[in-house]
Amino acid sequence: MASTLKELQNLTDRLNTVTKKYGMKINDKKTKVMCISRTGNHKLKILVEGQQMGQVTQFKYLGSIISSDLYCEKDISRIVMGKQAFGNKKRLLTGNMNLDLKKNTEYY
């Protein structure tokens, strides 16, 4: 993470130098950059060995969707869907059903 384009390029260059030291290289086809800003979509030009990195507007990190505009509508909809799914099973889990039958996961 960096505050300016120049800082991000410097970090990328340093990372590239370290990876080369250990016989590795940054995969320019898999590595992407993203600018997080509420003011609009900014184009980034970050180079690794002369190849420009692709830019994305969102990515998934630890199950959460990080977007370039800092809104989290997709995560909120996932939470709502989870709540609805649990609500649908609540009667089954809290009813007077036999405990051994509740433990049987075959019906879920």
Tens digit of each residue's pLDDT (9 = 90 or more) over 70-92: 776 666 667 777 788 877 777 76
Give the pLDDT band of residue 10 (cuts 50, 70, 90): very high
What's the pLDDT at 107? 52
Tokens of 34: 């993203």
- pLDDT: which is higher, 96 or 33: 33
- Chain segment 12-58, per-residue pLDDT in tens: 999 999 999 999 998 888 889 888 887 777 888 998 988 899 988 88
The token duo for 69 is 């505009």
Q: What pLDDT score does 87 carry?
A: 79
Q: What is the pTM of this model?
A: 0.57
SS3 79: helix
Strand blocks (E) in the chain: 32-33, 47-48, 51-52, 54-55, 58-61, 64-67
